[in-house]
Chains A and B, each alone.
Chain A
Amino acid sequence: MSARRTDEPAGGLLRGIVERHRLARGPLLPILHDVQREAGWIDDRTIDLVADELNLSRAEVHGVASFYTDFRREPSGGTVVRVCRGEACQAVGGEEIHAALLAGGGGAVTVDQIFCFGNCALGPSVEVDGTLHGRVSVGDLPELITGPTGAAPDAA
């Protein structure tokens, strides 16, 4: 547990999201997906409010939020880099990419492992802030990660 949390996504935002999915069958995952997308993480207050709205126990909602890796219970930092560790990417050097990302991390980058983007013929695959890149080499990483925020002109 982290001691302090800021920018809590609870409150008005959440009520809108719940209303959007209230009529769906089994609305909990769609609701948590929307909170995750719009707030970046799922805080304790959200758990309480969702439990209340859906007439579930806090334990049930916490259980779901903590089961799935997509749902973050703490805010992520900076650029989110998701690297494939599946066998097809391993066969073309994916583990070296993963190791390089972990070694070169730092505060502004969150590195997550993913098991397969379905890009298995064009690996190794790395996703940077939602954009998927294929045939990535260790040498490509700095540009992929700093490129968009570094406002480098499009070389092409």
Chain B
Amino acid sequence: MSGGPGVEVTVYVPADSAARSVGADRVAAEVRRAAAAAGRAVRIVRTGSRGMAWLEPLVEVETLRGRIGYGPVRPGEVAGLVDEGLLDGEGDSLGPVEALPWLCDQRRVTFARVGVVDPRDPDSYLEHGGLTGLRRALEVGPEQVLEGMTASGVRGRGGAGFPAGVKWRTVAAAEGDLKFVCANADEGDSGTFADRMIMEGDPFQLLEGMTIAGLAVGASEGYVYVRSEYPDAVATLRAAITAARERGWLGPDVLGSGFGFDVEVRVGAGAYICGEETAMLESLEGKRGMVRAKPPIPALSGLFGRPTVVNNVLTLCAATSVLADGADAYQELGTGRSRGTQVFQLGGNIARGGIVEAPFGVTLRDLVEGYGGGTRSGRPVRAVQVGGPLGAYLPVERLDLPMDYEAFAEAGAMLGHGGVVVFDDTVDMAHQARFAMEFCAAESCGKCTPCRVGAVRGVETIDKVIAGTDVDDNLALLDDLCELMTDGSLCAMGGLTPLPVRSAVSHFGEDFLDRDRTPHTTRELSP
């Protein structure tokens, strides 16, 4: 028991958009009503999400035993739970949330505060270790920051895995009185939502990481390019920026150091290609999101032609840990040349989806069968797509693949932004291959022909295969087309679309050759 009437109880209800999509706002309102009806004083804190999506809405109550969890709490269930003692941590609970094995087994670094703190409250950020990295950076100066980032081995989390320290050093060394830091938060890959959850659940961490980057390279302005499909992330980030300016964490004199840095949020407009860094820069400049030819690299000629750091949200967040805990602590995690933790995102047809932050090297099976608990439908897993719409489809036989950049590259796949999408045995892989081409056709910026035209021809060719027309010839043609797109496209959009297509054909050939097999229409999912 943590108290009786008169003692204020703190109740945490996520305001994360995934939790809201299954009724978290209504649950929060019901907690307020039920507490009032019971004559109890409550303080409701809207947090980010712990990343246990299947338990959302997850309600937590502060008690002497820690935060006791209840979930999933569906709208309409709160009054009953309060009657059974929810406000005292009694009744049918999950127990202390931080003791749940699913969370305990993880190594939360970037996500340590997400779901725990009030994302809009700067004091909450400070109480949980916020600004330690930035303070250290201001103390040791740019050269030491660059050294630390290089020594830590942090690699870009957007997908390409380029060493962040090398990129920062290039920008730092570039001539220019005006430099920029751009956070790429155009997280368009289906199956990825880690950037969104950071922005909604711990936005100050991103601002801190950007400020560290600005200090290291000599940049004075930062932009966060957030996709318009993430309105909650935009709102939370903007609130955090306002609070950070009020505290002097951003502005002309960051923490009284004399260093000036400010951040602005820019919203995308529904174009997947703007997740490609040069298309993002074009979009930030107010142009069509057309990919630029490289060189020049953005580090030397980026936003408005100025030297620019372009990093993924998670990469910039990693900088705060590297500075706060030291490069060695970061180096100790991971495997081979993939250092630190990676934030894996489990989605699609999965029983326990959400965020698994673990050192590189955890296997796909650990994620899909261990943390994920198999499919939501209860049917066997048939395919797993890793790395978004441009990532390979892997069959169950490949589930023992360790999750690191090199192992994936060797297997002809890519880790990308860490998204893992699970499909059960009702999936039609010819349909998925067709979709990959359809998606490329819809989202191509149109600048280069292999992508713009190749994707359309790809859809047509797969349609012929599906219809059973000259299947062998058309599969050969498709393979030719894939080779041309891979070799001839300007960026990853056209260059990697063949990855899901070819992996579907090579691992699931029966779906292309034998179209008479059981139709894929029987699909039963629990609500």
Contacts and interface: CB of A to CB of B under 8 A. Distances in A.
B353 to A, nearest CB: 3
Contacts of B432: 87, 90
B288 interface: yes
Q: Taking chain A's interface residues, is the majority helix, strand, or loop, or is none over half, making it mixed?
A: loop
Given A68-B289, A86-B191, A122 B21 contact: yes
Interface in B330-367: 345-350, 353-354
A24 to B, nearest CB: 8
A37 to B, nearest CB: 10
Contact of B193 (A25, A26, A60, A119): A119
B513 interface: no
A16 interface: no
A26 B284 contact: yes
Contacts of B191: 86-88, 116, 120
Contacts of B348: 87-88, 90-92, 120, 123
Interface in B21-40: 21-22, 26, 30
A41 to B, nearest CB: 14
Interface stretch (A4-12, A101-109, A132-140, A145-153): A132-140
B120 interface: no
B349 A91 contact: yes
Contacts of B56: 122
Contacts, number: 161
A129 interface: no
Nearest to A114: B229
A75 interface: no
Nearest to A21: B286
Contact of A120 (B30, B228, B289, B421): B421
Interface centre among B189, B272, B304 (most CB of A within 10 A): B189
Contacts of B270: 68-70, 114
A104 B85 CA distance: 45
A90 B431 CA distance: 10
Interface stretch (B202-210, B404-412, B422-430, B473-481): B422-430
Contacts of A26: 284-287, 304
A121 B419 CA distance: 11
Nearest to A27: B286
B435 interface: yes
B349 A116 contact: no
Contacts of B268: 68, 70
A109 B189 CA distance: 27
Contacts of A63: 288
A116 B22 contact: no
Nearest to A89: B190
Per CB-CB distance, the 7 closest pairs between chain A and chain B, nearest first, are: A121-B353, A86-B190, A120-B347, A28-B286, A68-B269, A134-B21, A91-B348
Interface of B: 17-18, 20-22, 26, 30, 53-54, 56, 75-76, 187-193, 196, 228-231, 264, 266-272, 283-289, 304, 345-350, 353-354, 376-377, 385, 389, 419, 421-424, 427, 432, 435, 439, 442-443, 523, 525, 527
Given A91-B424, A118-B196, A120-B191, 9 more contacts: A25-B284, A115-B389, A115-B439, A115-B442, A115-B443, A117-B21, A118-B193, A118-B229, A119-B18
